[in-house]
Amino acid sequence: MRERVYLDWNATAPLRVEARDAMLAAMDVVGNPSSVHAEGRAAKAIVERARGQVAALCGCKPGEVVFTSGATEAASVLAGVAPHGAVFVDETAHDAVWAHVDHTHAEAGANVLALGIANSETGVLTKPAAPDDAGWQVGAYRATSLFLDVTQYVGRVAWSFHWSGAALACLSAHKLGGPKGVGALLVRDGLDIPAVQVGGGQELGRRSGTENVVGIAGFGAACEAAQRDLDDEVWGRVEKLRNILDSALAAEAKETILVGKDAPRLPNTSCFATPGWKGETQVMQMDLAGFAVSAGSACSSGKVKTPRVLKAMGLDDTAAEGALRVSLGPTTTEDEVLRFIEAWLKHEKKFRQRAA
C-alpha cells in the first residue's frame, strides 16, 4: 500500500524538524517569562530570540512583533482600531478578517483598509496600489491606514512589513511549519493600539496572558527555516510542480476551470472548479485514494458553506461549489503530483460518465 500524500499545505504545513527541536528544548525551561529570577529570564530569552526570528522573516523590528494565539486573534485588533463601520475589507479576505466588520455600515471614508495579500483558497495575490498623500483608494473607498493578512504569503514569497506601508499585519506559525495555536500581530513602531486581550499587561500591554513559550520557540525556529527556504529558492521548484498539475488538468479536463490561472499566485497553490461535481465529494474521493486536499479554507471547522471568495471572483454557485484546492510544499515530489493527477483524472472521468 502506497503512503498517503499530503497536498494541503495552505491548511497547515507539517511541523518542521527545527521547530520540533526548539519546542522540545523549551519544554525543559520552567520559568515564567514575566518573572525576574534566573528561571524567568531563561524563558524570557526564548521568547525574545523567537521575536527576533519572526522579525527577520517579516522585515520589521523585534519590538513590532506581538505574539498571539494565531492570525485570527491578531486580526481581532480591527474591532478596536477604528470606529464601527470604518474598516473596508476586500471581498477576497479571509473570514478571520472579514468577520470583524459590519459590512452593512461600510463608509466611503474608511479609516482602515484590510486585505489578505494571498488568498488561502486560490493563492491569488492582491496587493494594494501605492497610497497617495491622502491614503489608499479602493473604488469609492479611501482609507488612511492599511492592515495586511500575510498568513499565506510570508515565508513563501519575500516580504517586508516596512516596505509594505502597512500599519498592522497578522500571521500564523502553522502555515510556516511551526506549531498550531501561535501567531503574531505586527504593529508599526509608534502606533498606539487597544490591547488585543486585556489582563496582566504582557507583550508591552498589547496582548495580555502568559506567553506560550513552547509554541513561540517553535514559531521562531520555523521562521528562521522559512527564510533559508527563500534564500535557497525552494519555492521556485514547488512552482514548477504546481505548473505540471495545472497543465495536466488544462489538457485533460476541458470543463474544469483553473481559478486565477492568469493572475499572480502563490507558487504552491492550484484551485480548480468542476461545475456540478461538489468539492467536498472530491475531497472524500481523494482521501480514500490516499491524498489530503481541500475544498477551500480549513479555518471553518469543517463547515460546508457557500464559497464567498470564489463568488467574489466571478464564479457562479455551481462552479464555486465544485472547487478543489491543492497546495504543495517544499517536501512535495514530482511523483506525488503525478500520482494525484492520475487519481483525480480517473475520478473526473467517472463523474463525466455519470453526468452524461
CA quadruple 210, 214, 219, 225: dihedral positive or negative? positive
Q: Which of 229, 225, 220 is nearest to 184 (CA)?
A: 220
Contact 121, 325 (CB under 8 A): yes
Contact 65, 203 (CB under 8 A): no
Q: What is the DSSP letter of 347?
A: H
C-alpha cell at 184: 503574531
Q: Which of 225, 224, 228 is nearest to 52 (CA)?
A: 224
CA dist 117 and 213 (Å) reads: 29
Contact 213, 43 (CB under 8 A): yes
Give the three-state DSSP class for 122. Answer: coil
Let me know if 299 is a catalytic residue. yes
Which of 45-79 are b and which e, b meaning 16 or more Cβ less than 10 Å from the residue's Cβ? ebbbbbbebbbebbbbbeebbbbbbbbbbbbbbbe
- Given the residues 58, 170, 223, 299, select the one marked as catalytic: 299
Contact 148, 169 (CB under 8 A): yes
* Integer CA distances (angstroms), 209 to 55, 199, 212, 296, in order: 21, 7, 9, 32
End-to-end C-alpha distance for the chain, whole angstroms: 33
Q: Point out which residues pair with 143 in neighbouring strands.
A: 136
CA dist 269 and 323 (Å) reads: 13
**Residues 133, 137, 141: CA angle, nearest 5 degrees:** 125
Q: Which amino acids are annotated catalytic?
A: 299
